[in-house]
Amino acid sequence: MSPGSGTEDVMSFFLTSVGLGDGADLGGLEGADQHCQALASTAGFGEQMWHAYLSTAVFGGSPSVNARDRIGSGPWYNFAGVQVATDVANLHGENNLTKETVLNEQGGMTNGRGDDPNRHDILTGSQLDGTAAAGDVDTTCQNWTGSGEGSALVGHFDRIGGGDNPTSWNQAHASRGCGQEDLRGSGGDGLFYCFAY
């Protein structure tokens, strides 16, 4: 039986322990999904299919993609078997995402605000409801292919910090840029969420 079926508490959600090293250039959604799959495989969860929780905007002739539409229907469990959300609506409402429950693929915790270095800015490119932002402003670092100019919407996995929505796990504020040092400068490290679907 596959994770997300409601009958198992096998890991079906994690925060990447490492990014790809080139800021928000993840090789697009395909590269981000491959990174999720590779990390999950290394941790012994490669039989499941994994997608990155990332939205994309209308760009270069491609339609927008909503992060909420690419992660399955839930429920989702962390490495320790703790349920973090029952379904898509719960995930974008009163979920159980906290610094203690947002574990990486090995079951480890990630540095948040107050830790050194702070790595709490998580790439999403998404609005509070998990949809792509509309308009002309780049909120996805050129659909996860740019590491220079631009910006990406990020969330705070530890649910604290600054920005318009400081307690939001998926849309706290925009990044300072798309490069690795830009992300680190505002408390990030190119990390993102992965869900089994």
The residues, ordered by sequence, that sit 6+ positions from 67 with a Cβ below 8 Å of its Cβ are: 53, 54, 55, 124, 125, 126, 130, 131, 132, 170
pLDDT, residue 134, reads: 87
**For residue 155, pLDDT beyond 90:** yes
Confidence of residue 135 (pLDDT cuts 50, 70, 90): confident
pLDDT, residue 59, reads: 77
Instruction: Give the containing element (helix H, strand E) for 121.
Output: strand 121-123
Confidence of residue 61 (pLDDT cuts 50, 70, 90): confident
pTM over 0.85: yes
pLDDT, residue 3, reads: 38
**For residue 148, pLDDT beyond 70:** yes
pLDDT, residue 8, reads: 57
Q: What is the pLDDT of residues 183-192, one digit of tens each?
A: 999 999 999 9
Q: What is the pLDDT of residues 84-108, one digit of tens each?
A: 999 999 999 999 999 999 999 999 9
Number of domains in the chain: 1
Give 185 or 61, the one with higher predicted confidence.
185
**Spatial separation of the C-alpha atoms in residues 73 and 59, rounded to whole Å:** 27
**For residue 9, pLDDT beyond 80:** no
Confidence of residue 156 (pLDDT cuts 50, 70, 90): very high
Residue 7 token pair: 């009958």
Supply the DSSP string of 24-47, one letter for each residue.
T--SHHHHHHHHHHHHHHHTT-TT
Whether the Cβ atoms of residue 108 and residue 39 lie closer than 8 Å to each other: no
Full domain range(s) for residue 93: 1-197
Q: 188-196 and 121-123: which strand pairing?
A: parallel
**For residue 5, pLDDT beyond 90:** no
Q: CATH number of the domain that 153 lies in?
A: 3.10.100.10
